[in-house]
Amino acid sequence: MSPPHDAGDTFDARQVRRAFSRAAAGYDEAAALQREIEARLLESLDFWPARHGDDHPPRCVLDLGSGPGRGAAAMRGRWPKARVLAIDLALPMLREARRRERWGVLARSPLRRGIDRLCADARALPLADGSVDVLFSNLCLQWIEDLPAVFAGFRRVMRPGGLLMVSTFGPDTLHELRAAFAAGDDAPHVSPFASIAQFGDALMHAGFRDPVLDRDITVSRHPDLAALVRELRTLGATNALRARRHTLTGRQRFARAAQAYAAAFGDDGGTGLPASWETITAMAWAPEPGAPIRQGGAEIASFPAARIPIRRR
C-alpha cells in the first residue's frame, strides 16, 4: 500500500519501506535492543485482564509495524482465540515472518488461530471503525511525523476500552551520531524524534484516557563509527529524511565525522564508542465514541513530563 503524499515533509516513506525491505532477512538477528524493548512492552499486556478480567479476553489484537512478527506471535500465544493482525509497511518483513512461522521459529499450535498479515501504512489503517481491542506497536512511530493524526487513526479503529501499547525513540537517541555528522557534513543524517511531552500531548489530543508514559536511556558500544553505521543499515534504520543527501556521504566527510565522534565521545576504557537510545513507552485506553478531549477548558488527562525519571541501562 503506497503511503499518503500529504503526511508531512520530514520523512520519505518510500525510503523507509525500501530500507526495511532490504533489512528483512537479517533484521531479527541484529535487533537485540528492539527485542528487549518489545519484551518489556509485552509484559504490560497484563493490564488488559487487570482492567477487563480474565473472562473477557480481547477479540482482535493488532501488531503494528510487526517486523519479524514476534509481538504478533506472543499475543497469539496469550490470547489463542483472538484474531491476530500483523501490519507492516515492508512486504518482505511480512514474508519473512510467515517463513519463520512455517519453519517453526515462531511455532504455531493447531489449537491457535493463524496470523492475518497486511502490508499497509500506519497512517492509513485499512481497518473498520471500532474493530481492535489491543493495538500494540514496538518502535514504529518514530518514522511518523504527524503523531496527532496517527493517534486519531488509532482511536478510530479501536473499541471503547481498548488498550494501546506503543514504544518509540526519543530525541536523545543517537545524539552522538547527530553531533559527529554535523561536524563533517551540512546534510542531516539522523532523524528528529518527538519528545515524551510531544508524545503525551498527541495521545491526549486524540482523546486517549489514563495515559502512562515512561522513558529509558540505553547505551550500546561499537568498535568504531563504521560498525555502528553497518548495524543501523542491517536494522533498516538508515537516513530516511527528505532533506538527506541523495549521493554517497563520501570518504572525506565520513572520516571527519568519525574523527569528531571519537574526539567528542571517546573510547571509554576500550569498550568502544557509545551510542545512546532513548526509549519512550506509552500505555493508554481508548475512550467511548464522542468522548470529549477537554472539559471545563482543561485537558481531561495530563502528566508532568518534566518529572518523569529516566532509567539508564
Q: How far apart are CA 309 and CA 16, in angstroms?
A: 31
The pLDDT tens digits of the residues spanning 285-307 come to: 999 876 766 554 455 545 555 55
In tens, the pLDDT along 184-238 reads 666 656 777 899 999 999 998 899 999 999 999 999 999 999 999 899 888 877 7
Write out pLDDT tens, residues 178-190: 888 887 666 656 7
Provide the pLDDT confidence category of residue 246 given band limits of 50, 70 and 90.
very low
Angstrom distance (rounded) from CA 41 to CA 182: 33
What pTM was estimated for this model as a whole? 0.85
Q: Give the whole-angstrom CA distance, residue 219 versus residue 189.
A: 19
User: Does domain 13-171+191-219+276-312 fall into CATH 3.40.50.150?
Assistant: yes
The predicted structure's pLDDT at residue 63:
98
Least confident range of 12-16, 67-71, 142-146: 12-16
Domain map (residue ranges) of the chain: 13-171+191-219+276-312
Q: How confident is the model at residue 11 (pLDDT cuts 50, 70, 90)?
A: low
Determine the average pLDDT of the residues in 38-64. Answer: 95
**Measured distance CA(237)–CA(284) in Å, rounded:** 27
User: From CA 56, how far away is CA 104, in angstroms rounded?
Assistant: 30
Percent of the chain predicted with pLDDT > 70? 78
- Of the candidates 250, 272, 251, 252, the one whose C-alpha atom is nearest the C-alpha of residue 262 is 272
- Mean pLDDT taken over the chain: 83
